Amino acid sequence: MTRHLSAELLAAAKELIALYPNPRSALVPLCHLAQEQDGWLTPDAIEDIAELLDITPAEVLGTASFYDMLHTEEVGRYVIAICTNIACMLRGADDLLAHAEDHLGIRAGATTPDGMFTIEEAECLADCGRAPCVQVNHRFFGNLTPEGFDQLAADLRSGALESEVPPHGTLCRVRRSVGLEAGGH
């Protein structure tokens, strides 16, 4: 009996499972859905997903821990990934990362004490034309300077970007809000 997912997410999970001929194929979308609720995949959410798919919690954790977009440990409301790959590095990404760490008072891999921000150093985020680039909950921000980062952090903290950057990296494809709708032709 599932016990952690909200009634709304449980209903959405069952709709997602119904899209696939093999229920296990819904594993990654279900992980995103559960992460939407808590910001990370809690042990209870992992158990619920396993029960819904008739697999073991170890299988859920094994899959979830493979993907960068899924978090098996608590993260901040906003996960800030700063690309330090070659294109971004050549345009100041290392300095931007150091500035972000100083500005937020944490190092990459950590979360601010208020739970607002987690910084991650990232490999290529595929926005090289706007280097150095940053993703916040998988939304892109490019050509960032240290001052631009400070403004971004202030806007996130104040809620000014709430409509643009949902908490916990909600993905539009999980909710089928873009592209072909479930059951569409």
Summarised one tens digit per residue, pLDDT across range 56-68 is 999 999 999 998 8
CATH number at residue 22: 1.10.10.1590
Task: Tell me if 79 sits within 8 A of 118, measured CB to CB.
Answer: yes
Considering the domain boundaries, does residue 179 fall inside one? no
User: Are 18 and 90 in the same domain?
Assistant: no
Write out the H or E segment, with its range, that includes residue 104: helix 93-104
69 band by pLDDT with thresholds 50, 70 and 90 = confident
| Domain with 59 in it | 7-64
- Closest to 165 measured CA to CA, from 74, 76, 42, 66: 76
Domains identified in the chain, total number: 2
Considering the domain boundaries, does residue 163 fall inside one? yes
pLDDT digits (tens, 9 = 90+) for 17-48: 999 999 999 999 999 989 888 889 999 999 99
- pLDDT at residue 36, rounded to an integer: 85
Considering the domain boundaries, does residue 1 fall inside one? no
